[in-house]
Amino acid sequence: MIRKLAIFTALASILSVSTTADALVSTKYTGSCQFLAKETGKYPEKKVKGFKSEATFKKMQNANQLMADGNKAQAKAILMEIKNSSSDSFTLSIVNQYLARLAYDAGNFNQAVQYARQVVELDALPVNAILSMKKQVAYAYVAKKDYKNAINWLKQYFDQVIKPPVSDYKMLAQLYYQDKQYKSAICPSYIALKKTSKAKDKEPLYKMLFGMHYRLKDLAGSAKILAEMINFYPNNKQYWEQLYSIEHQRGDTKAALAVSELAYQKGLWTTEKEIKNLASMHANNGSPYNAAARIEEGIKKGIVKSNVENLKLLARFLDQAKADDKAISAYRRLINTTGSGKYAFRIGNIHFSKEKYKEAISAFNEAVQKGGLSSSEAGNTYLQLGAAKFYLGQEAGAIQALNKAKNYEQTRKSATSWVGFIQEKQRIRELMKKDAAELEAEVAAETEKAEETE
């Protein structure tokens, strides 16, 4: 019971993280994260002139309609005509906006960057429009796989924008990630996570955050993030597997066992390999009875095969746990399956350790009869058989068995000592009998002499 409580105490410490959007788990990298843009305020007022002539306005309307209808070449021709004939900053800003969009749609990202940058440099549009173009420049650089420039432009955007959407934080995080700036990517992804309310929208952000911590070799932070992911997505087996692996990498076997045990109880471990691995962890952490229970349950459910290998594992765990009756039953199943005396020898050991010498003798005799013993097992079978017979007062039988134990190198010395001990005991007993007989004769003689004197 104490062992079980220790496991779940370890698990509680792993999963004791917040599940609210406002209080996410803190790691050494996320603890100091701040919003990258203002969350409140207004953009400065800016006077915008508008088109100088009605004719230019109508041309722009025409170009816009042609773009909507899919006649992009004609639209571009009109826009280029206006661009080449105008020096008005507002007009040129609008034209460059349209040209940037056309270039981007056509996959001409170099031109898209040039046109969008001109809009920013002219600075004749409302702040929102300028910010939009900064983002477009960033996106164009993304399309060119020029992540450093994309990051630079998106950072300029964040310097001015007020309460940007979650998607902007996601984009910045992804750009840093693509550029292998993992530490820089953490805060924008973390803030995006804070600003996201739906669990399904949080998941890719959690994955990204975990990936970056793992790449930075922050296993403690990785474990915390995975634990929080499990709180949100408890039936995702992959997250349990990853958390189990991380705890192992950290060398925290108790935490790894706790994760594996709870995953098992939730029905996520469904293969023989997973069940046997969990059982081995229980055994290695000093709980062979729990190990046996997992194997036994697996066999009953049909997940773990009821073959010799697994029955041996079950019997060994039960034997280690001192669950004698169950261990004997498991060894008996192995005898019935294999016909080997190895398992009768183990039954004999259990009985011998409990001083059940009659039962031990029966099991050891069965082991000899069935055979299949290793040299060490055979030697120990005869050695313990001899000891058990001695304890029951069967000295002749004991010496006979112990003399057989002398034939094996591993038990020769012990068997020789045992035989010597028994024979010495017999010699002393015979001497004591002789002394007693002589004493009795002397007493009788003295009695007879005394009677004659009278």
Reported as a single tens digit per residue, the pLDDT across 50-78 is 888 888 888 888 888 888 888 889 988 98
Give every CB contact of residue 168 below 8 A, 6+ residues apart in sequence. 135, 154, 157, 158, 161
How far is C-alpha 321 from the chain's CA centre?
A: 26
Reported as a single tens digit per residue, the pLDDT across 323-377 is 999 999 999 999 999 999 999 999 999 999 999 999 999 999 999 999 999 999 9
Find the range with the poorest average confidence among 79-83, 276-280, 291-295, 427-431. 427-431
Sign of the torsion formed by the C-alpha atoms of 56, 62, 64 and 70: negative
> Residues 269-294: what's their mean pLDDT?
96
Superfamily designation of domain 339-448+450-454: Tetratricopeptide repeat domain (1.25.40.10)
Find the range with the poorest average confidence among 71-85, 384-398, 410-424. 71-85
**pLDDT score, position 189:** 95
Domain boundaries, the chain: 339-448+450-454
**Nearest CA-CA partner of 230 in 194, 201, 203:** 203
**Nearest CA-CA partner of 138 in 128, 127, 149:** 149
Q: What percent of the chain has pLDDT over 70?
A: 90
Strands (E), 136-289: none
Phi and psi, residue 38, nearest 5°: -65, 140
Q: Which residue has the higher pLDDT, 171 or 451?
A: 171
Looking up tokens 């995975």 gives: 226
> Residues 421-432: what's their mean pLDDT?
84
Confidence of residue 104 (pLDDT cuts 50, 70, 90): confident
Does 23 have pLDDT greater than 90? no
Does 441 have pLDDT greater than 90? no
Q: Are 175 and 142 in contact (CB under 8 A)?
A: yes
Does 9 have pLDDT greater than 60? no
How far is it, in rounded angstroms, from Cα 11 to Cα 333? Answer: 36
Find the range with the poorest average confidence among 17-21, 41-45, 278-282. 17-21
**Straight-line distance from the first to the last Cα atom of the chain, in angstroms, rounded to the nearest whole number:** 82
Confidence of residue 3 (pLDDT cuts 50, 70, 90): very low
Instruction: To the nearest 10°, report the CA torsion of 413, 417, 423, 427.
Output: 140
Mean pLDDT over the full length of the chain: 88
**pLDDT score, position 345:** 97
